[in-house]
Amino acid sequence: MGLQDRNKRGFTRLLRSFGYAYQGLRHVFVNEQNMQVHVSLAAFVILLAFWMDLTRLEWLFLLVIISGIFALEIMNTAIERTVDLVTEEYHPIAKRAKDVAASAVFVYSIFAVIMGIILFGPHLLEKFL
């Protein structure tokens, strides 16, 4: 949000905040390689889900998993940019902050793979056996 909008209230401010959020989202999708990998994998998984004819509940789990990984990758990017803003030189604490933020994405990615196996495993067995 722009500094000029901090103390304002109202619909215009709300609309601007959506614009700022869109700009951030666009930046991450266009400029972050890891997000592009996540988007590509999500597209593949969604196509697979249509082919597997998932139930509503399975779709719900799948969409929560996908949106969770996107949100974590966005937060990771925000933390990395903030650390880069604070220090331009190597600092072990800055490195640790970036590594810890990245590890959140990594842990959730492992969870997503496990959930993918649970969601798609029975459908894949049914299709191919």
Q: Which residues are catalytic?
A: 73
Burial class (CB in 10 A: 0-12, 13-18, 19+), 52: middle
Cβ atoms of 108 and 68 closer than 8 Å: yes
Sign of torsion over alpha carbons 33, 34, 35, 36: positive
Task: Copy the structure tokens of residue 31.
Answer: 């400029």
Place of tokens 């056996």: 129
Cβ atoms of 101 and 79 closer than 8 Å: yes
